[in-house]
């Protein structure tokens, strides 16, 4: 998965015609860190990837898919779904949707360990819409200063014009689906 992320970053930068320095300036991530991620020397955190994707105007799912150059099949088996773990928080992210099908929708399964929290900056140009459906545990979402507690079965539409985050303040893992449309 790290290879797909690195290739996706480089591919998107090339497609936009921006340098690693430009990406560093846009994202607030150091030039050295951008290079280390692209050269597979470090495993980026969810926060770093959020900043990089924001600067590139894309979702993490799109970043992963962008490294693939061929049209993907319309089905992806559970054992073939790309999985990524945030080395800092332990967040486990599984891309459920088939990659590179041309669909404007994505489904991501997230497992957030007890006590873990992930925060993202406000998006520069929100090009997508996102809904979060809690499957197991309790999830606290924040949008600016507003916190919303979610239980299994609860669904919320995310805001991207404010800094936002997801926290698991429960005892067990929190599992949720993220549905994204571009």
User: What local confidence, expressed as pLDDT, does residue 66 receive?
Assistant: 62
Distance CA 100, CA 67 (A): 9
DSSP H or E run through 140: strand 139-143
Does residue 135 belong to any structural domain of this protein?
Answer: yes
Does residue 73 belong to any structural domain of this protein?
Answer: no
Do 105 and 176 reside in the same domain of the chain?
Answer: yes
Q: Which residue has the higher pLDDT, 168 or 39?
A: 168
When pLDDT is averaged across residues 9-31 and rounded to a whole number, the result is: 90
Do 93 and 62 reside in the same domain of the chain?
Answer: no
User: What local confidence, expressed as pLDDT, does residue 63 receive?
Assistant: 74
User: What local confidence, expressed as pLDDT, does residue 15 receive?
Assistant: 86
pTM > 0.85: no
User: What local confidence, expressed as pLDDT, does residue 33 receive?
Assistant: 92
Does residue 121 belong to any structural domain of this protein?
Answer: yes
Q: Which residue has the higher pLDDT, 4 or 97?
A: 97
**Cα 59 from chain centre:** 6
Distance CA 72, CA 31 (A): 32
Whether the CB-CB separation of 37 and 44 falls below 8 Å is answered with: yes
Does residue 71 belong to any structural domain of this protein?
Answer: no
User: What local confidence, expressed as pLDDT, does residue 32 receive?
Assistant: 93
Distance CA 97, CA 114 (A): 26
Q: Mark which of 66, 88, 104 sits at the end of a domain.
A: 66
Q: Mark which of 35, 66, 97 sits at the end of a domain.
A: 66
Does residue 132 belong to any structural domain of this protein?
Answer: yes
> Which domain does 89 fall in, by range?
78-181
Looking at residue 116, which CATH number applies to its domain?
2.60.120.10
Q: Pairing state of beta strands 83-85 and 92-95?
A: antiparallel
Q: Mark which of 39, 66, 93 sits at the end of a domain.
A: 66
Do 118 and 166 reside in the same domain of the chain?
Answer: yes
Of the candidates 65, 118, 61, which has an alpha carbon nearest to the alpha carbon of residue 91?
Answer: 118
Whether the CB-CB separation of 144 and 167 falls below 8 Å is answered with: no
**Per-residue pLDDT tens digits for 102-143:** 888 889 999 999 999 999 888 776 677 889 999 999 999 999
Looking at residue 26, which CATH number applies to its domain?
1.10.260.40
Whether the CB-CB separation of 170 and 138 falls below 8 Å is answered with: yes
User: What local confidence, expressed as pLDDT, does residue 113 receive?
Assistant: 98
Do 88 and 172 reside in the same domain of the chain?
Answer: yes
When pLDDT is averaged across residues 25-32 and rounded to a whole number, the result is: 92
Do 42 and 86 reside in the same domain of the chain?
Answer: no
Number of compact structural domains in the chain: 2
User: What local confidence, expressed as pLDDT, does residue 2 receive?
Assistant: 81
Q: Which SS3 state, helix, strand or coil, does residue 28 take?
A: coil
Q: Which residue has the higher pLDDT, 15 or 60?
A: 15
């Amino acid at each position: 998965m790290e290879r797909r992320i690195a290739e996706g970053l480089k591919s998107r930068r090339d497609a936009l015609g921006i340098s690693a320095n430009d990406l560093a300036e846009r994202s607030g991530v150091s030039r050295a860190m951008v290079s280390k991620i692209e050269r597979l020397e470090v495993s980026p955190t969810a926060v770093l990837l959020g900043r990089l994707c924001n600067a590139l105007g894309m979702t993490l799912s799109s970043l992963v898919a962008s490294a693939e150059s061929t049209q993907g099949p319309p089905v992806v088996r559970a054992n073939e779904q790309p999985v990524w773990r945030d080395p800092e928080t332990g967040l486990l992210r599984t891309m459920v949707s088939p990659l590179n099908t041309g669909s404007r929708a994505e489904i991501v399964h997230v497992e957030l360990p007890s006590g873990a929290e992930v925060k993202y900056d406000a998006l520069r140009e929100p090009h997508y819409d996102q809904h979060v459906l809690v499957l197991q545990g309790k999830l606290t979402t924040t949008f600016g200063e507003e916190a919303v507690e979610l239980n299994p079965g609860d669904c919320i539409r995310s805001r991207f014009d404010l800094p936002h985050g997801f926290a698991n303040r429960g005892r067990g893992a929190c599992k949720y689906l993220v549905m994204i449309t571009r």
